[in-house]
A and B are shown apart, each in its own frame.
Chain A
């Protein structure tokens, strides 16, 4: 069944961590200070991170998994 997941454009991400703070599932980490990483297993596709991202580089995408 298709699911909605948040994805980060890692080239444009500024690694500020705004997304991490609003994620209700703690699915986002900035492991090495370079870009945000979303754990697709935890992401529920709520879109809070996409709304918060100051650079608007997070999008919601439909995945098959």
Chain B
């Protein structure tokens, strides 16, 4: 009994397009906020992880490349990587870096720092990305946020890609900060009922 494909099974096209658009005009990076707010809103309002379960385009992309195209060893992920320490630790680290990026954006908005036309991969390697910047109608801070947010998205895609190859296709889902955070929100919302299950 094969399940019929739904419209949301094609959201991987959105994720792929997003990554490609970032090579042409960095301002498209702002669209990535959808992948940030939608899961939070769903978990807060509905108390579910419907975003991860159905709508996550990145997860679908990894499923497709690692699963259908076979670019994955399909081995078990190491135990430490699925431990709560690592998952919560990565969530904290990821958000610390995210807020640092927001701070840098603020400094550019405030005019105390110049626009940095680079994409930072893995929070360390500065990649020149000036070709994707064609000016902005507003403050350069708008572009700084785009460079910063695209860095976050590209870094997480690269990490997900590496773990897809090394382990199972959707290994990224195990330590995805958004997944961990929405699961925590769901846990907080359903704390009494989940205790009953145990």
Do A34 and B190 touch across chains, with their CB atoms under 8 A apart? Answer: yes
Residues of B within 8 A of A (CB): 1-3, 43, 47-50, 52-54, 59, 63, 74, 76-77, 82, 87, 167-174, 179-180, 182-183, 185-187, 189-190, 193-194, 197-198
Do A17 and B49 touch across chains, with their CB atoms under 8 A apart? Answer: yes
Cα A38 to Cα B76 in complex, Å, equals 21
Residues of A within 8 A of B (CB): 10, 12, 14-18, 20-21, 24-26, 30-35, 51-57
Q: Which residue of B lies closest to A14 (CB)?
A: B174
**B77 contact set on A, CB distance < 8 A:** 54-56
Cα A10 to Cα B179 in complex, Å, equals 16
Cα A51 to Cα B74 in complex, Å, equals 9
Cα A30 to Cα B72 in complex, Å, equals 26
Cα A21 to Cα B173 in complex, Å, equals 14
**A25 contact set on B, CB distance < 8 A:** 1
Cα A34 to Cα B183 in complex, Å, equals 6
**B43 contact set on A, CB distance < 8 A:** 33
A-B contact pairs, 29 of them (CB 8 A): A14-B173, A14-B174, A14-B180, A15-B53, A15-B179, A15-B186, A16-B49, A16-B170, A16-B179, A17-B49, A17-B52, A17-B54, A21-B53, A30-B49, A32-B48, A33-B43, A33-B49, A33-B50, A34-B183, A34-B187, A34-B190, A35-B194, A51-B74, A54-B77, A55-B82, A55-B173, A55-B174, A56-B77, A57-B82
